Amino acid sequence: MNTQAQRMKVLGAGIFSLILALGVARFAYTPLLPLMQAQAGLGLAEAGWLAALNYAGYLSGALLASLIGDLVLKDRLYRAGMVLAVLSTVLMGLTDDLVVWALSRFVAGLSSAASMLFGTGLILNWLIRHNHRSELGIHFSGLGLGIAGCAAAVALMSPALDWREQWFAFSAIACVLLLPALGWLPPPDRSALTASGRLMQDRPPGALFLRLFMAAYFCAGVGYVVSATFIVAIVDRLPGLAGKGTWAFLAIGLAAAPACIVWDFVARRTGELNALILAAVLQILGILLPLLGGGLVGAIAGALLFGGTFIGMVSLVLTMAGRYYPTRPAKMMGRMTLAYGAAQIVGPAVTGWLAGGLGGYAAGLYLAAAMMVLGTVLLLALRLVERRGSALGAPPQRPCAQH
């Protein structure tokens, strides 16, 4: 197999793992949420707590990733996580017991961390080791495809299948996705040299840079999670848009699928930090558009902006983390995701609490937008820290990309 064909097969393993763990196991819950509320008696507050438990599982996986340096162990945990993604999906259809659903959402969160951190880290390590450009745009298209695919599947299945039958249909899809997610990712190489003999060295950023970076990523986590979890229910409750929420979720996925590739090109021209700032500003607009009027057009436009930016920010941040630590990329990825994951516990829980008291999710969107504004300010401060470090003759914050 030639080098480019092998590269696409490895990236394909990542794409299918993200569709499985993030699309099916984690985000099928979002378009199915209104159906579960209508048919299975799931309440507003309970829906928020289930989402929070999902992110608690994700945060637990991020903590694990931040502590583990051995590539072989990461590979084993990645593969175990893919199996758990299938099992957690099956579990959702087996019962309407809230405790079992809570367990399923927590396990799904663990599996999504296995794909997002262990899988992404292993793939980035492979790319750098084999002298490919250390960019993850193609890989992260799997998240957008997973979201769009789940939204389309629910829209197609809902006239014929109830909530339980749809979870079982997703379980069958998960079993198919499992095969390339496991079979196409080669075992990791623990040597310190690339395929061309170049030494792989970690170049960690400074302490102040890292603290500001984690704080900004926490804000981005709140901005992301409210829309990603509740967008279907939010749009369904807007005047004249009942039943249209799934289309907004589909728009998010369609925009997210090519977005990371686009943001890779933007970052090549502007640098990652400038690209992150631009994405954050556009995401604020995307979060607010559904609330600013415009009916379905406004809701879809907001969803497209949101989908085209949130996953770009994740891809840029995790790519930067992997470049700082090419020999153990999941380590900083895990630390950054601890900040992002903590936000993803707080965000749904607070939004569910606000929704229970106010009878809707709009306040959650305003909270998400406000946190994104704060995150943008922190990214601007981060750019000043980076420039100051360069002016003082400090080592450059951004290591050279491998080609």
Write down the pLDDT at residue 176.
97
Residue 124 near residue 136, CB atoms below 8 Å: yes
Residue with tokens 């728009």: 251
pTM: 0.78
**Residue 280 lies inside a defined structural domain of this protein:** yes
CB atoms within 10 A of CB 101: 23
> How many H-runs (helices) and E-runs (strands) does the chain carry?
14, 0
Residue 334 near residue 58, CB atoms below 8 Å: no
The total domain count for the chain is 1
pLDDT profile of the chain (403 residues), mean per 10: 84 95 91 90 86 85 85 93 97 93 95 92 86 79 86 91 95 97 89 66 80 93 83 77 80 84 90 93 90 80 90 87 76 83 78 74 83 95 81 43 36
Maximal CA-CA distance, the chain: 65
Name the amino acid, one letter, at 204. Answer: P
3-class DSSP state for residue 134?
coil
Its domain, for residue 106, covers: 3-190+200-391
Residue 271 near residue 390, CB atoms below 8 Å: no
Cα three-residue angle 260-85-150, rounded to 5 degrees: 55
**Residue 134 lies inside a defined structural domain of this protein:** yes
**Residue 227 lies inside a defined structural domain of this protein:** yes
CATH number at residue 43: 1.20.1250.20
Write down the pLDDT at residue 90.
96
User: How is 142-182 classified by DSSP, letter by letter?
Assistant: HHHHHHHHHHHHHHHHTTT--HHHHHHHHHHHHHHHHHHHH
**Residue 195 lies inside a defined structural domain of this protein:** no
**Residue 401 lies inside a defined structural domain of this protein:** no
**Residue 400 lies inside a defined structural domain of this protein:** no
- Helices 207-237 and 329-358 cross at an angle (nearest 10°) of 40
Write down the pLDDT at residue 289.
86
Separation of alpha carbons 321 and 209, rounded Å: 12
**Residue 398 lies inside a defined structural domain of this protein:** no
Residue 12 near residue 180, CB atoms below 8 Å: yes
CA 386 to each of CA 166, 281, 383: distance values in angstroms, whole numbers, following the listed order: 49, 20, 5
**Residue 146 lies inside a defined structural domain of this protein:** yes
Name the amino acid, one letter, at 127. Answer: L
- Helices 98-113 and 71-94 cross at an angle (nearest 10°) of 150
